[in-house]
Copies of this chain bind each other. A is one copy, B any other.
Amino acid sequence: MSSEVKLDPWGHISVKDYGWLMRTFGIKPFNEVLDKLREIAEPNRYMRRGIVFGHRDFGKKVINPLSKGEPVALLTGFMPSGRFHFGHKLTADQIIYYQKLGVKVHVVIADAEAYAVRKMDREKTIEIGLYEYIANLIALGLDPSKAVFYFQSNQKPTYYRLIQMFSRKVSLAEMEAIYGTMEPSKVVSALTQAADILHVQLDDYGGYKNVIVPVGADQDPHLRLARDISDRFHNELNLERPASTYHMLQRGLDGNKMSSSKPDSTIFLTDDLEVARSKLMKALTGGRATVEEQKQLGAEPWKCTVYDFYMFQLIDDDKRLQEIYDSCISGKLLCGHCKRNAWSILEKFLEDHQKKLEKAKDIVLKYVDPPKF
């Protein structure tokens, strides 16, 4: 990716060159804080494996306060534009990890942005927000009684007041430098995202001064804007910069971007088992042209989307993952066998998850107040 290409959190560019991102925007490598994190908690597999590859202020804003027993809040957002898939699970797993460390989790359903920028139907986004996103988070293990869920279009006045106030100290030229061409919908959505990230620092929302925002690498523009805004409102509103982590995006099963809008590129957590199995069996691997060749040369797991599934989702034990990797590159493990192994883990997970999901759907309205129209 050349340096004049802008990151587009609205999804039109996929970020592959994470090094470019770090060099250009000053994101720090996550491995520099891993040891310090180990003093208070075991890093999760995304952290251990470099999938969470970068951060800003993680030591200062997350590890330090947690080690002193000081409050930390997490803010994460989901765009309710389609079904919940394994790409979303990557974020979900992380927020559950943080909740277990005592971090107060806030989840925003970006329904206003889905409506205005993605031009989605309102009722549908609310439905998806409730029964795809929030329900799946609960089914995955997020404790809803300790989390805060909200919709962008159903908040308190102090939240909207931030959007109004932020508009004073951000120029259109600056937004265009961050996001590219702007329209009113993007102006409002970008300021709303800044309010999402920063509002938990208001007394009205708990007054959390340490905030962690774990995002995919393509979402950094929102973080940069929120950091700049927090500086400008430091005196007036007592806002502090949020910390953030950046994770790589799991590739789709076809080797391209994983996306709800290409159902074969991913597995949804609500896919029928037969559909899920079929998708996995058709997935792009790093196998060779013939069995003979593969036995001789070994396969290439770095090209394999099934290996991605092991690494991101299916295998938590690093040793076990290493064994798979070794038997793959040595040519001992062939793709058909490997896919069947993956499926047996995935099948168990999906069966179990889908049962939990039905229960979660029944209780979701106990924990969130959806907009009325």
Contact = CB atoms under 8 A, between A and B. Distances in A.
Contacts of A172: 182-184, 187
A168 B184 CA distance: 7
Interface string A352-373: 0000000000000000000111
A233 to B, nearest CB: 12
Contact of A155 (B119, B160, B191): B160
Nearest to A160: B160
A116 interface: yes
Contacts of A116: 164-165, 167-168
A175 B184 contact: yes
Interface residue tally on A, bucketed by range: 35 or more
Contact of A168 (B171, B182, B185, B191): B185
B187 A164 contact: no
A172 B176 CA distance: 12
Interface in A177-205: 182-185, 187-189, 191-192
Contact of A371 (B152, B157, B163): B157
Given A158-B373, A164-B112, A171 B184 contact: yes
Given A184-B191, A188-B188, A372 B158 contact: yes
A91 B155 CA distance: 33
Main secondary structure of the interface of A (DSSP, over half): helix
A116 B116 CA distance: 22
Contact of A185 (B122, B154, B157, B167): B167
A157 B153 contact: yes
A211 B372 CA distance: 24
Nearest to A174: B184
B171 A188 contact: no
A168 B119 contact: yes
Interface string A133-163: 0000000000000000000111101101101
A170 interface: yes
Contacts of A157: 153-155, 160, 371
A184 B164 contact: no
A115 interface: yes
Contacts of A161: 112, 153-154, 371, 373
8 contacts: A122-B165, A155-B160, A158-B373, A160-B160, A164-B188, A167-B185, A188-B191, A237-B373
Interface of A: 112, 115-117, 119, 122, 152-155, 157-158, 160-161, 163-168, 170-172, 175, 182-185, 187-189, 191-192, 237, 371-373
